[in-house]
Amino acid sequence: MTGHEVRVDNRWAARGRLRKVSAVIAAVALMVWVGGAMVSAAPIGAPVRAPAGGYEELWVPSGMGPVKVQVQWAARGGSSALYVLDGLRAPHDHSQWTSDTDVLQRFAGDNVTLVFPVGGHSSFYADWYRPSSTNGQVNTYKWETFLTEELPAFLAGYGVSRTNNAIVGASMGGGAALTLAAHHRDQFKFAGSFSGFVNPTFPMWNEAVRAAMWDEGRYNVDDMWGPVGDPAWRRNDPTVQAELLRGLPIYVSAGNGVPGVPDVPYWFGDTVNAMGLEAMAMTATRIFGDRVAALGIPARVEIVNGTHTWPYWEQAIATARPMILDALGVN
């Protein structure tokens, strides 16, 4: 190749650069594929709008490291969201709500984004004092920070509201849902607890929490909320914090501990355990109901048939669904 051949007229170089820039702009302006449907990029300065329908798995940065979040986008691109919290045995790779209930199908036609944080095993979705000292945990759980600061900020980039959200949970996640809603009223417009332990400061129940967390991963409750009497226990007790829930639409339910048809597929020993756990949840739910009634706080509190198992929580979220949609103003 000669020197003559590599010389390029400045006008042609400029045109070449223009073509490259145009190609980049075209690529950015091209649409991204979401579930096989092409979505236009929003014009600069236009409000961000959530994807319309479909399912996606996101990795969200946090102080705990990247957190997986399963999302089913609002059917028509609405901005409201429903946060759905797992139980004590929360798996590391998916939310049990997505594998053990029909919640994805039930809300598929609704204009609300479902948000399933993955993980939180034995965490009570709280901000802990330090890592658990009894099982080699490295990072300190900071789930409240994640659910009320880091995750909403991340989802806002997809057009999901920071303020028009609902939150529900089962078992461990039930009490946490009420607690988070109580302390973050600017974020949540509805809260629901299904078979939640909503009164952890009740005498000796702290020991039940301790035993459950030890059994499920050798976690140390003292590293979460400190010893009994530490203010963190009261802060994370929805019954104690009930006044902060005034004016918020609430649905709290628990079973009566009596097994039914949904328990048939389960092993007998599991059913017996589920009966005992639900008896405790029922007692806590009644205490919570008495507390809000004494304060004159409207809340729907129900004791229904059933045990501490997923088929009953599937029924509970179906019952809560019209209340959730109404509270969020979703049509």
- Residue burial 44-59, b: 16+ Cβ < 10 Å; e: rest: eeeeebbbbbbeeebe
Q: What is the DSSP letter of 47?
A: P
| Active site (annotated) includes residue 62 | no
Q: Is residue 4 part of a domain?
A: no
Q: What are 192's two structure tokens?
A: 């629901």
Q: Is residue 3 part of a domain?
A: no
Query: How many Å apart are CA 291 and CA 245, to the nearest integer?
Result: 12
Q: Is residue 19 part of a domain?
A: no
Handedness of CA 103, 108, 112, 115 (dihedral sign): positive
Q: Is residue 2 part of a domain?
A: no
Q: Is residue 146 part of a domain?
A: yes
- What is the pLDDT, as a whole number, of residue 159? 97
What does the pLDDT profile of the chain (331 residues) look like in tens digits? 433 333 333 333 333 433 333 333 333 332 222 333 323 233 334 456 778 999 999 999 999 999 999 999 999 999 999 999 999 999 999 999 999 999 999 999 999 999 999 999 999 999 999 999 999 999 999 999 999 999 999 999 999 999 999 999 999 999 999 999 999 999 999 999 999 999 999 988 899 999 999 999 999 999 999 999 999 999 999 999 999 999 999 999 999 999 989 888 887 888 898 899 999 999 999 999 999 999 999 999 999 999 999 999 999 999 999 999 999 999 7
| Active site (annotated) includes residue 94 | no
* Catalytic choice (132, 171, 193, 253): 171
- What is the pLDDT, as a whole number, of residue 190? 98
| Residue 288, domain extent | 49-328
Q: What is the pTM of this model?
A: 0.85
Q: Is residue 197 part of a domain?
A: yes
- What is the pLDDT, as a whole number, of residue 48? 67
Q: How many domains in the chain? A: 1
- What is the pLDDT, as a whole number, of residue 262? 87
- What is the pLDDT, as a whole number, of residue 50? 78
* Catalytic choice (144, 193, 278, 314): 278
Q: Is residue 205 part of a domain?
A: yes
| Active site (annotated) includes residue 308 | yes
- What is the pLDDT, as a whole number, of residue 49? 73
DSSP of 263-306, one letter per residue?
GTTS-HHHHHHHHHHHHHHHHHHHHHHHHHHHHT---EEEEES-
Pairing state between β 113-117 and 67-72: antiparallel
Long-range contacts of 105-110 (CB under 8 A, 24+ apart): 106/317, 106/318, 106/321, 107/72, 107/82, 107/321, 108/53, 108/72, 108/75, 109/75, 110/74, 110/75, 110/321, 110/325, 110/330
* Catalytic choice (95, 184, 193, 308): 308
CATH code, domain with 155: 3.40.50.1820
Q: Is residue 245 part of a domain?
A: yes
